[in-house]
Structure 1
Amino acid sequence: MELFRPVGEKELVLIKQAGWRSFPPRLPEQPIFYPVLNARYAGEIAGRWNTKDANSGFKGYVTRFAVEDEYISRFEPHQVGASYHMEYWIPAEELAEFNRHIVGEIEVIQTFE
């Protein structure tokens, strides 16, 4: 399954350091990892939120990546706003396992400043 993740500058640096193969561990105040199901929603988050956040370096990026279908089917998608605001809720303690099921590389498909 193709998924998307809006990230800021700091998170993107960590993804690059991991060889474009995994997302960094969540911070203690971040109990859930939220990959989203479409680029439109990811772009809204990256453009509207990351660009206004000092912790994101006032930059937003939309990443695209694939996850094994069998693995992601363990999780239910959640609608959190408009009909296309769909995301998965991956518990932070399961992120390392999630990363093992990424197929190929994580790529940047949009940049917002």
Structure 2
Amino acid sequence: MPAFALAHLRTPQINEDVLEYLEKIQATLDPYQGRFRVHGASPEVIEGEWPGTVVVIEFPDVEQARAWYASPAYQEILPLRLRHIEGSAIIIQGVGPDYSAARTAARLRQDAG
């Protein structure tokens, strides 16, 4: 199953450290087959509040996403972002191409009954 690293960057600030981080991040992703799917986009908020921007990086699986985040190469550049941008980041497993919310609902009904 694909996995995603998502970041909600609430206080994006562009400065020399952040630019250096941006220049170096792709090289940290390549060994783990990480690909940007959304990068720095300002979302169209349709419910609630969402200050800041969004980053979504796709990986082949959760293990690759975890390995990238923990890698020495990424950990070396991470402080460049953390010093200047407040945010939250998560790793989450995606669903396969045959996923059905209706099947999930049926299973949940069966489990509850």
TM-score, length-normalised on structure 2?
A: 0.29
The structure that is strand-richer by fraction is 1
TM-score, normalised with respect to structure 1? 0.29
Pick the structure with more helix per residue: 2
